Amino acid sequence: MHYDCIVIGAGIAGSSVAYFLKEKGLKVLVLDRAGIAHTGGSAAAGAFVSPKIGKGSPLQNLTNSAFAFSKDFYLTHFSKYFLQTGVVRIPKDEVDATKFEGYEPYNYPNYQWKQAKELEEAHILEKHASFYFEEAGVCSPSVCESMLQDIDFVKYDVKGLCYDEGLWSIGSYQAPKLVLATGYENRFIDMRYMGIKGVWGTRGDYKSTLPLIVSMHKNVSVSANLNGIIKVGATHEMGTLPCIHCNEEPLKGLLAKASTMVDTSDFKLTATYCGMRSTSQDYAPLIGEVIDVKTMLETHPTLPQGYKPKEPLAKMEGLYVCNGLGGRGFVFGPMMGKMLAEFIVDGKAVDPRVNPDRLFLKWCRKSPDLAR
């Protein structure tokens, strides 16, 4: 069957790019071996959608633009899945608390300070003044299914890719354009320069009567009480084996941390999720074309010695990536999906902060992957 574009991966990255490609009139097919947001980072995510705090780094600015975009996107098109609970950002410790005033000038505009008394009224056990972002909230990973409702989806474990005469083929499916949104797994093409790594995390859903009306983040994320369920989650361990820790031990550690934030005495575990999220070399997303590494190294054998080519970097024909969304897939997904669709369909340039090209020359010079 012929499509305009095939997307591999039906997490929030693949769902977002497929949604915007479809909106632009393309005939799109999405493939995922497990189902839609069924495993992987997107199934495990607590899916908090909140701004980033800090001292105005490019990544913070990008994250906060993505936050503004995604929040409006979910509220406008998928309001059923986005609960605007507000999110309280609590200092991690004494030292972190002293930094919060310095963060203030760089904050997402709509925020308030919450002092210990107000936090206590909101059932939050915290003495340090914290930021409250009222526009933030929690998104259900099920939003991915809704984003793909008018798009062809096939449960399919992709074992290999073939490109011939302008078409990518996967089994009986063909398309001139292919998007890899496979999260931490990237076994088809040499994309080592992007430095994609998996970070393992877990989430527990607890039944509770605690009347928490806001969500919060400290060392771990604790959601508001959503119809009798409070989600506790965090991603923290670099690794490549997603299920190595599935003995619920890490969840006990998370609950212990959550217990310092709220009263967890009636929490009863109802569901456990674990998954890997993918992160890039510099923690910013990876959106755009894929460099033809073999051709580049053959054409310019002195790249590892620091050679800077004057001509454009060679690219894999019709191949794109939407990945590296880090710990904020549900914040970045919609804006990055739109950006990639605008690039693929309209040729609109990708923001250089997320274009994977940014990492290539440095990888050639610095990576032990390449023999010098």
Footprint of ligand FAD on this chain (CB under 6 A)? 8-14, 31-34, 39-42, 44-48, 157-158, 181-183, 185, 201-203, 221, 233, 235, 275, 277-278, 323, 325-331
CA pair distance 291, 316, nearest whole angstrom: 6
Q: Which is nearer to ligand FAD, 41 or 51 (CB)?
A: 41
- 344: nearest Cα among 22, 70, 9: 22
Q: How far is the CB of 109 from ligand FAD (least distance, A)?
A: 20
Strand 82-83 relative to strand 28-32, pairing? unpaired
Q: How far is the CB of 186 from ligand FAD (least distance, A)?
A: 8
Tokens 């549900």 sit at which residue? 330
Q: How far is the CB of 34 from ligand FAD (least distance, A)?
A: 4
Q: Which is nearer to ligand FAD, 91 or 324 (CB)?
A: 324
- 5: nearest Cα among 16, 18, 14: 18
Question: CB under 8 Å to 11, separation ≥6 — which residues?
Answer: 32, 37, 40, 41, 42, 43, 144, 181, 183, 329
Residue 151 one-letter amino acid: I
Q: Which is nearer to ligand FAD, 229 or 313 (CB)?
A: 229
SS3 category, 1:
coil
Q: How far is the CB of 56 from ligand FAD (least distance, A)?
A: 21
Q: Which is nearer to ligand FAD, 187 or 310 (CB)?
A: 187
Q: How far is the CB of 250 from ligand FAD (least distance, A)?
A: 10
Q: Which is nearer to ligand FAD, 47 or 350 (CB)?
A: 47
DSSP 330: H
Contact present, 223 and 230 (Cβ < 8 Å): yes
